[in-house]
Amino acid sequence: MSLNRSEKEAVVSEVTGLVQSAQTLVLAEYRGIAVADMIKLRAEARNQGVSLSVLKNTLARRAVAGSGFEVVSDQMTGPLIYGFSVDAVAAARVVANFAKTNDKLVIRGGVTSGRALDVNAVKMLASVPSKEVLLSQLCGLLMSPMSRIAVVLGALQAQKEAAAPAAPAVPVAVEAAHAQAVPAEAPAAEAPPADAPAA
């Protein structure tokens, strides 16, 4: 079914909007994929924030003209599915993971940050952990030294507390030893009363 001029303009406008907001584009050939599998792929893409579109290649070329995605316009031939994502990794991950279980989906290439990616580069990009995972790993790395310091400080505090009850006992023992070593002074002889006669 062919599109009339206004429908084509609407498609180009929609794809141009995706191009302006996306960081990554992944192209994959979908020849022979069952409809049920395509529905699963689209559902997974939606869950990951990836916009998957089956487009006429001429309209896709027109939409990416003048953008960073234009570097792959020469690969826009045959039955392709276009995966756009704002997240730099999401489109590559969705398409690459699906391609692992369905050999009918063949990755052609992609673009991220204006750089063309071959098939292996798309797969490598797909293996990069998500932003949330990277942030949690970074937090773990930052928290590890702090938790070690907390453990060391806690151990030092425990040592001080364990030594603290023994500390007062030492002065008492020293005092007792000192009392035994120093003889008590003999009481001074009483002075005679002042009115007593001198002898």
Q: What is the pLDDT of residues 156-191, one digit of tens each?
A: 888 888 876 554 555 555 555 555 555 555 555 555
Percentage with pLDDT > 90 across the chain: 29
Alpha-carbon distance 32 to 45, whole Å?
19
Q: Which residue has the tokens 């039955």?
A: 79
Q: What is the pLDDT of residues 93-139, one digit of tens each?
A: 999 999 999 989 999 999 998 899 999 999 998 888 777 777 887 88
Helix H or strand E encompassing 135: helix 131-163
Burial of 169 (0-12, 13-18, 19+ CB in 10 A): exposed
Strands, E assignment, the chain: 24-29, 50-54, 80-85, 106-112, 115-117
Which tokens sit at 40? 């699963």
Give which of 23, 37, 24 is closest to 99, Cα–Cα. Answer: 37
User: Does the predicted model carry a pTM greater than 0.85?
Assistant: no
Indicate the average pLDDT of the chain. 81
Q: Which residues of 131-147 are buried (b: 16+ CB within 10 A; e: fewer)?
A: eeeeeeeeeeeeeeeee
